[in-house]
Amino acid sequence: MWTFLSETGIVNSYMLPSPIDVIKALIQDAPLLIEHGKVTLLEAFIGLFLGILLGFSMALLMEYFNPLYKAMYPVLVVTQTVPTVAIAPLLVLWFGYDIQAKIVLIVIATFFPITVGVLDGFKSVDPDMIKLFRSMGANPLQILWHGKLPHVKSYFFASLRISAAYAVVGAVIAEWLGGYSGLGVYMTRVRKSYAFDRMFAVILLISVLSVLLMKLVDWIQILSMPWIRKHRGD
């Protein structure tokens, strides 16, 4: 359908370039896209790593300190009602056009799913299992390590898939507002030159990178939880 609309001229090619033109642009600009993609992936990985640390630590503190949970959970929800596009200009103003602003935005976008996912995992632990651990003399650290964390794994990886996709998108959004390299900077340049075939090419690349990151999370989950292979038919 896309090819038909473009090749027959029903939709002007400068508005909707054909898939063939997009693939050609992707191949022609491959070296440039790889260089910009490296920067975006670096920002995404650093921001995602810090988002995981912050989200998991926050969930752990909120699990063991109920007043902190009551105080912080509404605040966390409110932070997600503010669009990242609205926050990005402030971060650029505060941190400049270097990598710091991009990483902070990625952390803001990724830590919330991790926090909520891990918290849901903690809350769904069977209370009878915790009582059994306590009756056998287990201390809080042993209950956490042997009782709660294994149960939280599936919740953690489910939220990590979402955060992995958010990491790439967050990096690109931050790069839109300024920077020296990255896929977002590249998108801004080709948009200003009305090279929409290149615009679609970088959109395709961003989608592929997001999917690959989610597949990487699946692979890590299978390594850490090998029993899920049976459930997935592999």
- On the question of pLDDT at 117 being above 70, the answer is yes
Over residues 103-126, the mean pLDDT reads: 88
Confidence band, pLDDT 50/70/90 cuts, at residue 100: confident
pLDDT of residue 78: 79
- On the question of pLDDT at 103 being above 80, the answer is yes
- On the question of pLDDT at 41 being above 70, the answer is yes
Q: pTM of the prediction?
A: 0.83
Could you tell me if 215 and 222 are in contact, meaning their C-beta atoms sit under 8 angstroms apart?
no
pLDDT of residue 149: 86
Check residues 130 and 229 and name the one with the higher pLDDT: 130
Over residues 21-39, the mean pLDDT reads: 88
CA dist., res. 52 & res. 156, Å (int): 10
What domains can you pick out in the chain, each with its CATH number?
28-229 (1.10.3720.10)
Confidence band, pLDDT 50/70/90 cuts, at residue 231: low
**Which alpha helices (H) appear in the chain, and where do they start and end?**
2-7, 19-28, 30-64, 66-79, 84-95, 99-123, 127-135, 140-142, 149-176, 183-192, 196-224, 228-231
Could you tell me if 114 and 156 are in contact, meaning their C-beta atoms sit under 8 angstroms apart?
yes
CA dist., res. 39 & res. 5, Å (int): 35
Over residues 210-227, the mean pLDDT reads: 86
pLDDT of residue 230: 60
Maximum distance among all Cα pairs of the chain, rounded to whole angstroms: 75
CA dist., res. 25 & res. 194, Å (int): 13
Confidence band, pLDDT 50/70/90 cuts, at residue 145: confident
3-state secondary structure of 211: helix
pLDDT of residue 232: 57
pLDDT of residue 54: 92
CA dist., res. 201 & res. 26, Å (int): 5
pLDDT-above-70 percentage for the chain: 97
Confidence band, pLDDT 50/70/90 cuts, at residue 45: very high
Residues 6+ apart with CB under 8 A from 34: none
pLDDT of residue 48: 92
